[in-house]
Amino acid sequence: MCASANETVKAKVLVRLKPSVSDPQGQAVQRALKTLGFEGVEGVRVGKLIEVELSQASSNASKTVQEMCDKLLANPVIEDYTIDVLPGGKTFQ
């Protein structure tokens, strides 16, 4: 089933460093939070959220976005990612 020209599918990709990889940006945020008076913060990991809008059937969207992640959006050596495909008509929040 093909999507019409008007139909779009949206996907959210969350990319994070693997647990075994040091996160200097997360450490800097943790130190800054402590400086601002936020005590008890045991750790911070920083990732990135990528929102992708596709004009294709939602049944193919997950596979397409996975290929994007494997080829460009994530570095599989040091990063993990999760994909959330939103049903047609849904918007990013």
* Model pLDDT, residue 67: 97
pLDDT digits (tens, 9 = 90+) for 12-26: 999 999 999 999 999
First to last CA, the chain: 27
CA distance 13 to 66: 9
Q: What percent of the chain has pLDDT over 90?
A: 74
Q: Is the pLDDT of residue 65 over 60?
A: yes
Classified as helix, coil or strand, 17 is strand
* Model pLDDT, residue 43: 97
* Model pLDDT, residue 89: 61
Q: Is the pLDDT of residue 79 over 80?
A: yes
Nearest to 13 by CA among 47, 60, 56, 57: 47
* Model pLDDT, residue 1: 42
CA distance 60 to 19: 30
CA distance 17 to 48: 9
